[in-house]
Amino acid sequence: MDVDNIKIGTMSAFLPPFDKGISTVQRIENAGYDSAWWLDHLMGWVPESIWTPEITELARYQSSPHVFFDTLCTLAVAAWNTKNILLGPSVTETFRRHPAMLAQAFLTLDHISKGRAILGIGAGEGENITPYGIKWSKPAGRLEEAIKIIRLLWENREKVDFDGKFWKLKDAVLGLEPYREGKYPPIWIGAHRPRMLDITGRLGDGWLPAILDDDFYANGLKTIRESAKKAGRTQDEITPALWAYSVLDEDHSESLRMLESPLAKNYLLTLPSEIFERYGIQHPLGEDFYGLLDYIPTRYDQKTVLNAISKIPRKMCEDHYMHGTPDEIISQIEKFARLGMQHIVLCNMTFFFDVSKMRSSFNCMKKIVEYFKTRT
């Protein structure tokens, strides 16, 4: 992969008051980023039990860690107020959103953005599903069926039928055409496990994982490309991307200090038990615990959470956050580019772990963007 053509994205955020979010995404576009992404959550990953000023300074400025505007509404406003930047959710799912509604919503966003919307989609996260009375069942199979329905509705102007395990369509129709004839929003899949990687190869237009592991990335991309080939597709039809939780500072030791913070370690509770086993420990919340499905932050008191994160070694944080100085982050990005990555999304977590680093961390981000822009 040519490291001179890496695309750089970042997470955008809309918090009350809503107007500030518009200014934020416009600044992101003006700074030269290629894409902006929004989390699709009802609930955040930080338990309110540890959202206290003693544990995080952010609690002094925001009363709850669970403040999220609806992602698709937000994307529509962001699309209307920008001109060039790509926009997408990272990622939505099909437990809360019916595939026909996703098909319609993203064609609508395609028109509002004039062809800049990306449908980022995954198998789902337990925190956004089970507390709200939605049954969790067979997420990978559900996702595969949903993508087939979305494409079926996009690519047929006449009525269609679909006889699936999760959904059945009879005389269904979606007459809306894409903004550009024959060019539908790309579907990027947040895949990590073998079946999801296979689905990405067969049905996806992009891959957006969130694990910073060289071997995982190389092997995952190999699986995706093999699946694509078996399905009669070429590897050029799929954009390899990467979602990178990042901690940045001009002083490397400062980035390491922030990785020791309770919030930094809390996010690692979302990892599956097999990753903890690589470090010689059991998942702090239980054997065979799979964080993305089983971690429901509102169900844990402060003592339980603090006890769990106390068992997480800093080495795990170092391995799962892209961290360091701008030059060090650039080197890490180029490393993944050599493995085939074409688009990285830098999710700046620095100020979550030390709010005083907000301005300086975004200055570090700016240096990274400028470095890659001068090489294209």
pLDDT in tens, 136-158: 999 999 999 999 999 999 999 99
Sign for the CA dihedral angle at 112, 346, 251, 305 comes to positive
Average pLDDT of every residue of the chain: 96
Cis peptide before 209 (omega within 30 of 0): no
Is 90 exceeded by the pLDDT of residue 122? yes
- Whole-number pLDDT of residue 304: 98
| Confidence at 125, pLDDT banded by 50, 70, 90 | very high
Q: What is the DSSP letter of 53?
A: T
What percent of the chain has pLDDT above 90?
Answer: 97
- In the predicted model, what is the mean pLDDT of residues 172-187? 97
Residue 344 host element (H or E): strand 343-348
Is 80 exceeded by the pLDDT of residue 198? yes
**Pair 132, 93: CB distance under 8 Å:** no
User: Both tokens of residue 249?
Assistant: 């500072």
**Pair 30, 82: CB distance under 8 Å:** no
Helix (H, G, I), strand (E, B) or coil at 221: helix
| Confidence at 343, pLDDT banded by 50, 70, 90 | very high
- Whole-number pLDDT of residue 32: 97
Residue 20 host element (H or E): helix 18-30
Rounded to whole angstroms, the Cα distance separating 179 from 107 reads 8
Torsion of CA 317, 36, 70, 107, to 10 degrees: -130
Task: Report in angstroms the alpha-carbon separations of 29 from 8, 9, 15, 68.
Answer: 11, 10, 18, 21
User: Both tokens of residue 123?
Assistant: 């198998």
Helix (H, G, I), strand (E, B) or coil at 188: strand
Best CA proximity match to 366, nearest among 32, 18, 23 = 32
| Confidence at 376, pLDDT banded by 50, 70, 90 | low
Residue 159 host element (H or E): none
pLDDT in tens, 12-58: 988 899 999 999 999 999 999 999 999 999 999 999 999 999 999 99
- In the predicted model, what is the mean pLDDT of residues 342-351? 98
| Confidence at 368, pLDDT banded by 50, 70, 90 | very high
Burial class (CB in 10 A: 0-12, 13-18, 19+), 264: buried
- Whole-number pLDDT of residue 14: 85
| Confidence at 375, pLDDT banded by 50, 70, 90 | confident
**Pair 235, 201: CB distance under 8 Å:** no
Enter the pTM of the model. Answer: 0.97
Helix (H, G, I), strand (E, B) or coil at 262: helix
Q: Tell me how long the chain is.
A: 376
**Pair 227, 198: CB distance under 8 Å:** yes
**Pair 113, 35: CB distance under 8 Å:** no
Rounded to whole angstroms, the Cα distance separating 122 from 146 reads 11
Is 70 exceeded by the pLDDT of residue 1? no
- In the predicted model, what is the mean pLDDT of residues 325-341? 98
Query: Between 194-203 and 139-155, two packed helices, what is the crossing angle to 10 degrees?
Result: 10
pLDDT in tens, 259-310: 999 999 999 999 999 999 999 999 999 999 999 999 999 999 999 999 999 9
Pairing of strands 187-189, 119-121: parallel
Amino acid at 46: V
| Confidence at 9, pLDDT banded by 50, 70, 90 | very high
Is 70 exceeded by the pLDDT of residue 200? yes
* Domains of the chain, CATH where assigned: 3-373 (3.20.20.30)
Phi and psi torsions of 214, nearest 5°: -55, -50
